[in-house]
Amino acid sequence: MLSRTRRWPALAAVAVLMAVIGASCTKNNEAFQAATFINDSRAARGIASLQFDNRLVDKAQAWADAMAAAGRVSHSSLADGVGSGWTRLSENVGVASSVAEAHRLFMESSSHKAAILNGSYTKFGTGVAFANGRYYVVHEFGA
């Protein structure tokens, strides 16, 4: 067991590592929050958590930024910018007053909920952009 004087630096190092890992997997805190909502919803139903894929993260954030700049919600071309080798891709897009509200609305929509809870997906990326008091949220799913 670590002594008290050695325990605090070790805990601080773990906290820094967790922050770096989270920052490299999402582009902002809101995107990380969206990702957490997805994996929590899956876990509550016994479905395996999704793993971040940087290609999907980059695409999701770029599309959220584009929607926020345009002031409207639309789907992207699924295969654009994510490389090859995918057997299945899906996307959720939405806008709401908060990331939590966006997740609630996704879960109330049968098609969006189906994408979130689809057990065949193993990878994902989330993106969130804020403009004019609204959060533009994008989920990219892949297998």
**Tens of pLDDT, residue by residue, the chain (143 residues):** 544 545 445 444 434 434 444 444 456 899 999 999 999 999 999 999 999 999 999 999 999 999 999 999 999 998 898 999 999 999 999 999 999 999 999 999 999 999 999 999 999 999 999 999 999 999 999 99
Q: What is the pLDDT of residue 28?
A: 86
Q: Residue 55: name the closest of 143, 118, 121, 125 by CA.
A: 125
Does the model's pTM come out above 0.75?
yes
Query: Which region, left, alpha or beta, applies to residue 72 given φ > 0 means left and ψ of -120 to 50 means alpha?
Result: beta
